[in-house]
Structure 1
Amino acid sequence: MTTIHPFGEPFGMTKFTNHDAYIAAAPESFQPLLVQLRAQLAKVLPDAEEFIMYDMPGFGFGKTIIAGYAAFSKQCGLYVSKGAIAALADDIAAAGLKATKTGVTFSTKKPIPDELVEKLALASRKEAGL
Structure 2
Amino acid sequence: MSNFADHDAYIDAAPETLQPLLTHLRARLAHALPGLDEIMRYDMPGFGTGSVVAAGYGAFSKQCGLYVSKGAISTQAEAIAAAGLKASKTGVTFSPARPMPDELIAALAQASRAELGL
Q: Report the equivalent of 1:93.
A: 81
Shift of 1:62: 1.2
8 A Cα contact 2:18 2:62, kept in partner: no
Q: Which residue of 1 aligns with 2:41?
A: 53
Q: How does 1:33-52 map to 2 (within 5 A)?
A: 33-52=21-40
Give the whole-Å Cα distance in 2 for the aligned partners of 1:62 and 1:47: 13
Q: Give me the whole-angstrom Cα distance separating, in 1, the residues matched to 2:47 and 2:69.
A: 12
Contact 2:57 2:64 survives alignment (8 Å): yes
Q: CA deviation at 1:111?
A: 0.3
- CA drift of 1:61 comes to 1.3
Q: Which runs of 5+ in 1 are unaligned?
A: 1-11
TM-score (norm 1): 0.89
* 1:74 positional shift: 1.6
Read off the aligned partner of 2:54 and give its amino acid letter: I
Cα deviation, residue 46, structure 1 = 1.6
Partner of 2:62: 74
Letter matched to residue 87 of structure 1: T
Give the length in aligned residue pairs.
118
| Equivalent residue letter for 1:110 | R
The yes-or-no answer on 1:107 pairing with 2:107 is: no
Aligned equivalents of 1:56 and 1:46: distance in 2? 19
Alignment-mate amino acid for residue 60 of structure 1: G
Q: Name the amino acid aligned to 1:111.
A: P
SS of the residue 1:68 aligns to? strand
Who is 1:30 aligned against? Answer: 18
State how far apart, in whole Å, the 1-side matches of 2:43 and 2:51 are.
Answer: 14
CA distance in 2, matches of 1:104, 1:17: 24
TM-score w.r.t. length of structure 2: 0.98
In structure 2, distance between residues paired with 1:91 and 1:52:
28
RMSD of equivalent CA atoms? 0.6
Partner of 2:53: 65
Q: Tell me, what secondary structure is at the counterpart of 2:18?
A: helix
